[in-house]
């Protein structure tokens, strides 16, 4: 490749220009020496790339197994994830193979590229599973999840809330949710509302104090009309979420 680039740079130039350009490119070396230099650099690249390929295979196997296990807890029963490593005809700066996530979101489905088979909610839950496993290693400071509760409820929604809470130990996590089972696990709850006015519809965002939070969770549970029963249920859910908080939250309370 180095020799080819050198010859290409000299193509179409006059003799004087070729000599000047050859000097700029290290032309004092013979073509044979340049070929030896190129071959040595390629050997170094191949050695490093082979080590990278082995590390990728090991990491891909672990990631696939752990994400597949987490999927079973997130209403993706029977689904699985695999990491496909396809050898490249021409090696690149990224190594000897391409990397693609393959997923089957439900039992009996064939594996296919993640972007083609996952719905919005499934994609959010798969992203949540991957981010939880990589928590503390990824450099992204803020993670945003939308539709992570799409198509789920009950115990699965509670698991989603717990996973989001654990992820918040290492990142700022923002999650848009309509489910109280998810909302109660947040450290801070915001209410988003739309108001129609003469200038059009305006969206407002407000932070909830403890009393307002109980009312909002009760509204999420029971609708527009809040009863004492739904309010007590909301208080109980919030207390249970606090009692089952992440180790970091409990440690902060003791300090």
DSSP string, 202-218: EEEEEEPPHHHHHHHHH
Lowest-confidence region among 10-14, 66-70, 146-150? 10-14
Burial of 160 (0-12, 13-18, 19+ CB in 10 A): buried
For residues 54 and 187, give the distance between their C-alpha atoms in angstroms, rounded to a whole number. 41
Average pLDDT estimate for 60-72:
93
Q: Give the model's confidence band at 135: pLDDT under 50 very low, under 70 low, under 90 confident, else very high.
A: confident
Burial track 40-73 (b if 16+ CB lie within 10 A, e otherwise)? eeeeeeeeebeeeeeebeeebeebbeebbebbeb
Evaluate if residue 13 carries a pLDDT over 70. Answer: no
Give CA angle at 133 (131, 136), nearest 5°. 75
Give SS3 for 253. Answer: helix
Average pLDDT estimate for 119-145:
83
Give SS3 for 132. Answer: helix
Average pLDDT estimate for 209-213:
95
Average pLDDT for the chain: 85
Please report the pLDDT score of residue 225 as a whole number: 84
Please report the pLDDT score of residue 255 as a whole number: 32
Q: What secondary structure does DSSP assign to 134-193, as a single string?
A: TTTT---SEEEEESTTTT--HHHHHHHHHHHHHHTTTSEEEEE---HHHHTT-SS-EEEE
Lowest-confidence region among 82-86, 166-170, 181-185, 222-226? 222-226
CB distance 143 to 174 below 8 Å: yes
Measured in whole angstroms, the distance separating CA 181 from the mean position of its chain's CA atoms is 22
Please report the pLDDT score of residue 250 as a whole number: 44
CB distance 126 to 160 below 8 Å: no
């Amino acid at each position: 490749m180095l020799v080819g680039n050198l010859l290409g740079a000299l193509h179409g130039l006059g003799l004087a220009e070729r000599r000047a350009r050859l000097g700029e490119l290290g032309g004092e070396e013979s073509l044979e020496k340049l070929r030896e230099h190129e071959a040595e650099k390629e050997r170094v690249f191949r050695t490093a790339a082979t080590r990278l390929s082995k590390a990728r295979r090991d990491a891909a196997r672990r990631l696939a197994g752990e994400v597949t296990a987490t999927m079973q807890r997130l209403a993706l029963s029977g689904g699985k994830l695999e990491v496909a490593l396809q050898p490249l005809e021409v090696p690149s700066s990224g190594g000897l193979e391409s990397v693609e996530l393959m997923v089957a979101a439900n039992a009996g489905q064939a594996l296919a590229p993640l972007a083609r088979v996952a719905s919005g909610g499934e994609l959010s839950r798969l992203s949540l599973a991957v981010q939880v496993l990589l928590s503390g290693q990824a450099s992204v400071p803020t993670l945003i999840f939308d539709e992570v509760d799409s198509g789920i409820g009950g115990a699965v929604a509670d698991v989603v809330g717990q996973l989001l809470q654990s992820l918040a130990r290492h990142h700022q996590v923002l999650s848009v949710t309509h489910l109280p089972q998810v909302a109660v696990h947040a450290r801070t709850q915001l209410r988003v509302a739309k108001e129609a006015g003469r200038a059009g519809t305006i969206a407002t965002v407000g932070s909830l104090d403890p009393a307002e939070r109980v009312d909002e969770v009760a509204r999420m549970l029971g609708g527009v009309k809040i009863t004492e029963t739904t309010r007590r249920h909301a208080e109980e859910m919030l207390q249970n979420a606090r009692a089952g908080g992440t180790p970091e939250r409990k440690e902060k309370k003791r300090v």
